[in-house]
Structure 1
Amino acid sequence: MKTIEKSLYQTVLYLQSDPKGKKIVSKILKEKFENLIVTKSEDEAIVYFQKYQNSIELIIADIYISSKHCLHFIKTIRDVSCDIPIILFGELIEYSQLIKAIDLNINGFCEKPIKKDELSKKIDKILKCLDLKKEQRQQDIITFEQSKLNTMVEVMSNIAHHWRQPLNSIGSLMVKLEAKTDEKQLTDEDIYDVIEKTNSIITYLSTIINDFRNCFKATNHSTDVELHELFGAMLSFYIADLSYYDIDIKVHYEEQSLKNIRYSEMLKQVLMVVINNSKEAIITKVNKTSKGLIDINVYAQDGMLYIDIYDNGNGIEDEMFEKIFDPYFTTKFKSQGTGLGLYRAKILVEKHMMGYIDIKNIADGVCCSIVLPLNEIR
């Protein structure tokens, strides 16, 4: 039976000043990496790092190079990337240098003379962590794409609500046209009237498609949009859908919050997730005693922009709060939710927009707070 060998890792950068240890270290690294870059100076190592940083997965360095410690080189690396693992070699390292190395997030240290088994175990431990990170990144990509697909489904659902009445109107025109034809009362004026009204409805339907495309166009670029324009587009998007379920939506602004905002496309996607959750909570609420309401307050405070979204739907059970942002966790029935919406919203807000998102129960429903730094607001 054939065994499938695990593919080698990409590139390792080895900064060395010890000819005796070079042979041992190089042999271990060649067994684990496709490419081994060996250099004897910090300047040369920095040049190689800048050239191959996208493929370098590990850096190994002597802490002393040409009678100088290599912490300047490590700091240069950390200014660019905090993720690349680094292992240092050394002997009789000064306490102050050790503290500096720890502060620079060194992942391992080996005393000289180098022991093959010790070094190999340290490298294997680091590579195992790299594998886990790669798997997590791949899983994040998959769940993110699934969430985007769910967003598209929500968009299509809203388009359906916008199209329903115009399509019914076209249907009514066709019924009248057919009835007059059967009764042999159809005139040229009737035909032109139907054509004119149908063309008007078709133009309206085309406008809806363009509005939706502009509101939720796919882009990774940051764009500047005034907040009142952004929320105006959101209200236009939701008004027909929410009215169908007898839900009112209102937006209140403080004057100082009416700024231009970057990452507007990301914020639209986050708002869409939260508003959809509020809508579902109101629709499924038991013992309704009042009309559904989604109330959005936008204000600035202490250098931050706050967007608080309240609804009078079902609250969230206390034990669910710890998992509310986890992927695939949903408070809905399995047939109604995938558990990816809030997970994706959290990634967009915290990793891309440098803010944070929080959810809490209030007296008659739930409040979702989106907080963004004002330095991202123009």
Structure 2
Amino acid sequence: MQKIYTNAYTNIISQQKQLSQVIYSGILEITELQDIILDYKNKTQEQKNHINNTILSKLKKRVNSLDKNFVKSIKLVSFKNDIFIATSKINKDSKLYSYVYKNKTPLHTYNIQNNSAGFSSIYPIFKDKKYLGLIEITFSEQFLTSSLMRDYSILSNIIIKEKYFDKGFLETNNVYQKAHNEGFLHNTKVLKELQRVANKSLKEIKPSKNTSRTIYSQAERKNINSMFLDSDDVIITTIPILNSISYDQLAFVAIISQGHEFRALNDYYKMIKFMVFILIALIVFVVYQQNLKRLILKENFNKIIQKDKQLLEQSKMAQMGEMIANIAHQWRQPLSTISTAASGVKLNHELEMIKKEDIPKSMDIIVSNCKYLSETIDTFQDFIKEKKVKNEELLQKRIDESLKIVSASLKNNHITLVNNIDYEKEVRLKIVGQELSQVLINILNNAKDAFVQNDIKSSRFVKINLLEDVKFVQIIIEDNAGGISEENLAKVFDPYFTTKHKFKGTGLGLYMCKTIIEKHFEGELSVENGKEGAVFKISLPKNLS
């Protein structure tokens, strides 16, 4: 858990930096700041006031348009030209500004000043290599917590140290309130979203004394920690938030996730250890009874080998639950990155930084992949929970959507897709469409991998057919990748069986495909060798129960 949430935190902060860079570039372009700053001293006071109001209006408009991305404020500072324009109060004595002025490089940090807190990105402004000033873009804490809760199905909060705010501030502010542990604050907007995500009141969300004590104890260590609390059935992860210049810990992220999966895995591991212990005891007893003293050393050696083999097999079973969770986390992380990339493209479009004709194709590809990844994750989780929703599906359309996902991959590997499907006669079945897509995409990807693994140089193709008779519908996928060896043909649907390198396959893909087709669709999935390669046949009954 610690490594997963550390990567998640790093990825979200990286997104904030990328989005800040896009906003910074856009502001320079729409305001022509460099030229304005250079000519500022030559203006009358009335002209300066007009310039200030114009720039401030544009900055406020930009903040309002970016409010959904939790942008709190944008500030423009030029000390030499006495320009201080911002959507919130400017601290002219800020150490962050001095750092950027001295080093002439961007700075990204979490900071507390003027009774406000947030993730700030500060960029120097140059004209012909001459330093003119800086722009500060600040995101609220909600940018981080909202992304964590949205992408990882957990509860997240940021706890801020009160001592870094001015005294008396809490009496008049409506953004930060005291936490139940003395010396710490909460962002009320984060608390409201936390309440909405949990669908519980703040009183119900409030951790037990034991959980709270553990959270604050972990956080004071100033390093990332995860701990399983058996009494509350939760896993607590704390991530310190530091100031990039002083390295003071200003706040920390608290993540609470359900611990029942960890508990079940732990109990299962204990059961396996007990069973192994009993098994070893039986083997020792049999060896002692059936073998002569002169064979004891040899039999003990065989017993150790057998024990290691059994432990290896049981270990695979114990890791299966962990693997399922890791798959979900590893797939959700690129979702967040792709979504940020899409936001960046849209933002560039809003700022008129790219041509309109460059946008639609890229956006369609990104959104299509995001939708597929998300649906696959939900399908995988529903598969485990066995809660299925069947809808009437047009098979031709479902197959086309699946082909669209893998078409680019096939093309990049010089594989021709031969689509022999008849589109004039519609074929409809009441099924779980996402699961059928999962099966088709898995088989097509296996075909692609087979061409590479078997080093097929000649013309590569994959054919797909849709056949129908009175009782059944058949989807047939055939390739010319050389087929499957007779030795492996009977084992391709076995769990954990794979001919791929260990980093490229787990051996669960075709096993899950067969389970979906035969258990959920009451059909049949089979494979045989054709003239030039493998032939997968999916038979689906027309009248599913």
Q: With the length of structure 2 as denominator, give the TM-score of the two structures.
A: 0.34
TM-score (norm 1): 0.48
